[in-house]
Amino acid sequence: MLTPPKKIVVKQSPGKGFGVFATDKIIKGELIERCYCITIGNKIPNSLENYAFSYPPGNEEHNFSVLPLGYGSVYNHSDENNAHWIKTPNIEMHFDFIALKNIEIGEEICTNYGRMFWKRHLNIKNYER
């Protein structure tokens, strides 16, 4: 059973639109959020292309794309990310967002979108890969 995340909130992120921020201290290795994923296939509608994830994660030849529910599609990118996502062990169609280091109250939680995201999104301005 999924429970709403308790230590995070979505709010404005300067220069990025919305983002996910810590409302309480999060410890390295802690589960930040578990998100159920909806399959959207391989033909991603333009309106969803910036929110879609490859499934399974970490696989350059991904099987299909998904849209994570909860706050999953709101985490912003950073090359110095303080969190990452993994396929939830033993549960299909779920991602776990995990802290890579301690995250302080008020700090934005960012993941690294990975090379495949940037290859698919060459039209995004102000970001070179």
Distance CA 89, CA 57 (A): 12
Determine contact, residues 26/106, Cβ cutoff 8 Å: no
Distance CA 116, CA 103 (A): 26
pTM: 0.83
Does residue 115 register a pLDDT over 80? no
Task: Dump pLDDT digits (tens) for 45-72.
Answer: 777 777 888 887 766 566 788 899 999 9
The reply to whether 16 falls in a domain is no
Q: How far apart are the first and last CA of the chain?
A: 38
The reply to whether 34 falls in a domain is yes
- Our count of domains for the chain comes to 1
Q: What is the mean pLDDT of residues 104-125?
A: 73
Cis peptide upstream of residue 68 (ω within 30 degrees of 0): no
Q: Which domain holds residue 66?
A: 29-100+110-120
More confidently predicted of 90 and 52: 90
Distance CA 12, CA 96 (A): 23
Structure letter (DSSP) for residue 69 = T
The domain that holds 42 is classified in CATH as 2.170.270.10
Q: Can you give the pLDDT at residue 127?
A: 43
